[in-house]
Structure 1
Amino acid sequence: MTDLKDILNHDDELDLSSEEMIRYLQGEASEEERFAVEKQMADSSFVNEAIEGLQDFKDPAQVQEYVAQLNRQLQKHTARKIARKKKRRLRKDETWLIVAILGILLLCAFGYLVIHHFYTVK
């Protein structure tokens, strides 16, 4: 999950591109490609479900539009999470800044009282 810019980024389990899956579903894949796709479908339930899900689409343009829509949603979602993390980080930094300023003010006040006390005692 290091690269969340593309919903179809390739995992170790999925070695097929979306174009290969579409060619397989349209019957335009060569025998070798069909064999490779069917072997991956047998080996991986994820690939099997991906192919079954793609069978519902009649037009490859629909698949591409759906993938583009999912990518946009994924980017918006991750951008919001990143913005929240930055905002949270700023709040933590601000908290330490406030504590540091209060500590310095208290030290100054204490120093003033000590110095004032020594001058008034003499």
Structure 2
Amino acid sequence: MKRPPRTTDATTTTEDDAALDATFEALADADCREILAAAATPKTTSELAEDCDIALSTAYRKVELLSETPLLAEGVRFDPDGDHAAEYVRDAADAAIELDDDGVALTVDDEGADPLAAALDAPGVSAD
């Protein structure tokens, strides 16, 4: 399940939001945390698997989980030959957990994380 692009600087998930459980599950997983660290710049799943030294099938599962959270953004890497590929970039700079009478709320802030700028800085990508 792909999440829609963020329209604000912060995303809050609460007890009523399925992304809350997925986010906590992803943060509890060492491979997901390693993928988030490696995704400082846009990378394909294959590149993430290689950088994190994990099996490609594992990387696909972890990226799928992370894609259900506000932590990872999906984009498209355009290839001049027409072979476009999905690429992923970390879409979070900070996270805060709030506990109150209504339950748990997780706010993920992307301040400083600009997936578009990161995509344009990626090797082989040009805005021309």
Task: With the length of structure 2 as denominator, give the TM-score of the two structures.
Answer: 0.28
Larger Rg: 1
| Larger relative strand fraction | 2
Task: With the length of structure 1 as denominator, give the TM-score of the two structures.
Answer: 0.29
Larger RCO: 1 or 2 (CA < 8 Å, sep 6+): 2
